[in-house]
Amino acid sequence: MKLSLEISDEQASRLREAAERLGVGVEQLAQAAVVDLTNQHAADFEAASDRVLEKNQELYRRLA
């Protein structure tokens, strides 16, 4: 999927600086940030659901 977005001049400048510092292209850095963000939410959800299932395991067993 191709995505187009507008960011402020200040954000664009910081993005370019970060990309230069890391030795990658601006597009590569933006894509990596999106991938990291979307993966983090999935991992956070899985961790939370695992905690709930583990915490309530005995209750679920009794209700079954």
> Domain segments of the chain: what residues?
27-64
pLDDT of residue 43: 76
Extract the tokens encoding 33.
């940030």
For residue 7, pLDDT beyond 80: yes
d(CA 12, CA 26) in angstroms, rounded, equals 9
Predicted model pTM: 0.61
pLDDT digits (tens, 9 = 90+) for 8-32: 999 999 999 999 999 999 999 999 9
Instruction: Please tell me what DSSP assigns to residue 24.
Output: S
d(CA 12, CA 5) in angstroms, rounded, equals 11
Alpha helices in the chain (DSSP H): 9-22, 26-55, 57-63
pLDDT of residue 23: 95
